[in-house]
Amino acid sequence: PRLHLLPQTHQLKGLMTIIRDANTERGDFVFYSDRVIRLLVEEGLNYLPVVDKEVITPTGLPFQGVAFEGRICGVSIMRAGESMEQGLREVCTSVRIGKVLIQRDERTALPKLYYSKLPKDIADRWVLLLDPMLATGGSAVKCVETLLEAGVKEERILFINLICAPEGALAMLERFKSLQIITAEIDESIDERKFILPGLGDFGDRYFGTED
């Protein structure tokens, strides 16, 4: 119940087919990835709490609606997660965005925090954690731990990603009992190199044009 899949519409399947295709040019990869990212952000906002709010329409009559309760911010896991920042900005104007850099320690093979820059009041906000690919979950788990150390409540963290492997999703949901994941598709597994299968390759390289 804490793993939320985007509605599997023909539109979404078509977009995912384009970005998974190895023959897709970078311009198209960026354009169609951005479309999926925006869908994911919009879906993530559905899980934020709201309060009742009455407004007066131009006809002079009241309308019973809602307003978001509390403030949000984004946190991107560098480098691929930075590709999702623009989609968040397009939906939430003037949103604050923090950054976290986590890489595998060559000596221990464990994820290590190298850099963290977060809004000073992040403990009072709802956090949309951004990373397009969730494989083993090692980096994402480390990032959530960093957020918790900064005072963010676990139930206020929404992890937004395009594709996740079952192993990574399970690792995160078992480790954090209140965290929620919003994803576009769940793939089959990860291979011995920890690549998601069938996946789409290295998202960051394809998005930023740094493929070999």
Query: What are the residue numbers of the active site?
Result: 104, 108, 202, 205
Q: Contact at 8 Å (CB) between 126 and 69?
A: no
Kindly report the backbone phi and psi dihedral angles of residue 35, in degrees, each rounded to the nearest multiple of 5, phi listed first.
-65, -45
Cα distances (angstroms) measured from residue 57 to each of 41, 50, 51, 61: 28, 20, 19, 6
Q: Which residues pair with 129 in a beta bridge?
A: 75, 159
Packing angle of the helix pair 138-149, 166-175 (nearest 10 deg): 20
Counting every residue written for the chain, the total comes to 212
